[in-house]
Amino acid sequence: MGANGLMFARLKGVLSPPGTAVVAPDGLRPAGVLVPLRLREGEVTVVLARRSERVPHHKGQVCFPGGSRDPEDADLFATALREAREELGIRGESVELLGAMDPVPTVTGFFIQPYVVRIPGDATFSLDDFEMEEVFEAPLSVFAEYGRYRCAESIFLGEEYQVYFFDYGPHTIWGATAKILHRLSELADGISPPLTLSHPPA
């Protein structure tokens, strides 16, 4: 197993067990997202998508596949798998769950539970034309260049919080997606305590 292959084993060791219960605070809607990683030409990459301008929430934003929990979903991981299949055509049987990250509350009213997964290096995608405009990927190592993040500070529910922004090619990745990538990079680097002190909303 190469050094980048060991990255998956390392993440599996530091992420939370998948069965960890998540309870959304009052007023926030529970949601689940997949954070898909894969090994491409010896490098770990992260798969990202950009939403269309037609969706009701987060128009045009770079995101992970996922969405709000439906009543029939067994848990938020089931939500993330269902949405990933609908949005990007990622098949649940091809996914290896590495573990869960800390939830990310957002000012748009969601409480996002990220699940980090490994998908096959040769996986292909089939986009939902209504919801997704494009899919792309980036080396995970790029998001460990912490000096490239921009940060805006504000107040949410009476507390200070930070919104991250990260420019990658033609894309500006921000909000919950940038926060998840920042924290995932910290976990992959073995940084503790995390640079993201506490877990302020995105």
For 165, the token pair is 């922004």
Q: Where are the alpha helices (DSSP H) in the chain?
A: 3-14, 76-88, 176-189
Question: Smallest Cα–Cα separation from 157: which of 110, 200, 114, 112?
Answer: 200
Give domain status of residue 163, yes or no. Answer: no
Would you say residue 157 lies in a domain? no
Tell me which residue of 118, 174, 119, 120 sits closest to 143, measured CA to CA: 174
User: In degrees to the nearest 10, what's the CA dihedral of 58, 82, 72, 129?
Assistant: 50
**165 is a domain residue:** no
Closest CA to 142 of 114, 176, 199, 181: 181
Q: What is the pLDDT of residue 200?
A: 39
User: Is 14 a domain residue?
Assistant: yes
* Cβ pair 88, 3 in contact under 8 A: no
CATH number, domain of 41, equals: 3.90.79.10
Q: Is residue 180 classed exposed, middle or buried when 0-12, 13-18 and 19+ CB atoms within 10 A define those classes?
A: buried
Q: Please report which residue ranges of 50-163 form alpha helices under DSSP H.
A: 76-88
User: Which domain covers residue 38, as residue numbers?
Assistant: 3-144
Domain presence at residue 167: no
Q: Tens place of pLDDT for every residue, the chain, 202 residues?
A: 555 668 888 898 889 887 666 677 778 889 999 999 999 988 999 999 998 877 766 677 899 999 999 999 999 999 999 999 999 999 989 999 999 999 988 878 888 999 999 999 999 999 988 889 899 999 999 999 999 999 998 776 667 778 899 999 999 999 999 999 999 999 988 765 444 433 334 4
Query: Does any domain span residue 66?
Result: yes
Residue 185 lies in a domain: no
Instruction: Answer whether residue 202 is part of any domain.
Output: no
Number of domains in the chain: 1
